[in-house]
């Protein structure tokens, strides 16, 4: 079994209105030293497979076609093996 931890973030050129709201709220609550907030997605998946390359190939397809919008988002992932 292999666990994938997928991180999806907005490209740096894309405005993040949700991040702006969080930052403004933090400032309102007295956390004035926070200078930037970007809100991202974190997804965990388990694969019933021990072939790391097969999992990577499948995960790339999943990220490209389902999880991330290639126009506005980027992704990266970490794999945990031997579970």
Q: How far apart are CA 65 and CA 73, in angstroms?
A: 12
Stated pTM of the model: 0.84
Q: How far apart are CA 23 and CA 38, in angstroms?
A: 9
- Residues of the chain below pLDDT 50: none
The pLDDT of residue 46 is 97
The pLDDT of residue 18 is 97
The pLDDT of residue 82 is 75
Domains of the chain, each with CATH number or no CATH: 2-80 (3.30.1280.10)
């Amino acid at each position: 079994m292999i666990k994938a931890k997928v991180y999806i973030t907005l490209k740096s050129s894309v405005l993040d209105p949700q991040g702006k709201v969080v930052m403004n709220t933090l400032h309102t609550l007295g956390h004035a030293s926070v200078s930037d907030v970007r809100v991202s997605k974190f997804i965990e998946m388990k694969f019933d497979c021990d072939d790391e390359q097969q999992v990577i190939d499948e995960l790339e397809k999943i990220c490209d076609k389902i999880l991330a919008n290639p126009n506005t988002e980027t992704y990266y992932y970490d794999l945990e093996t031997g579970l």
